[in-house]
């Protein structure tokens, strides 16, 4: 890959649209929710983080130590056409909804 190709790839990456979604991390009986802009990257990052023993929350680390497995699922994708303010408002409402439905914690 030459310099021009790298520059084009970098520019394309910078111009990509965010894919806002609510993700659930399930470890044993515990469920944690997170709003993310790139679900695929979040899934890879969380899997790596948990396997290397550097969980973002102590209770996640404890649950993973006991169970040894983690499931990451996309719970809901937000409308990509929403403005930043509308997305924040919608995300807050949807996170509250899923928190109650799943009995989850938000991180």
pLDDT at 1: 77
Instruction: Please choose, from the candidates 42, 65, 43, 57, the residue with its C-alpha nearest in 3D space to the C-alpha of residue 104.
Output: 57
Q: For residue 5, report the phi and psi dihedrals to the nearest 5 degrees.
A: -65, -40
| 3-state percent helix, strand, coil for the chain, nearest multiple of 5 | 50, 20, 25
Listed by start position, the domains of the chain span: 17-106
For 17-106, the fitting CATH number among 3.40.50.970, 3.40.50.920, 3.40.1440.10, 3.40.1160.10 is: 3.40.1440.10
- Could you tell me how many residues make up the chain? 107
Per-position pLDDT tens, the chain of length 107:
788 888 888 888 777 788 999 999 999 999 999 999 999 999 999 999 998 989 999 999 999 999 999 999 999 999 999 999 999 999 999 999 999 999 999 99
pTM: 0.84
pLDDT at 92: 97
């Amino acid at each position: 890959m030459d310099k021009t190709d790298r520059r084009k790839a970098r520019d394309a990456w910078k111009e990509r649209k965010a894919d806002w979604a609510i993700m659930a991390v399930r470890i044993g009986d515990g469920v944690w929710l997170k709003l993310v802009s790139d679900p695929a990257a979040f899934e890879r990052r969380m899997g790596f983080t948990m396997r290397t023993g550097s969980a973002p929350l102590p209770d996640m680390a404890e649950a993973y130590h006991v169970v040894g497995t983690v499931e990451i699922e996309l719970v809901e994708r937000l409308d990509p056409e929403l403005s930043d303010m509308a997305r924040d408002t919608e995300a807050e409402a949807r996170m509250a909804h899923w928190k109650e439905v799943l009995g989850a914690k938000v991180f």
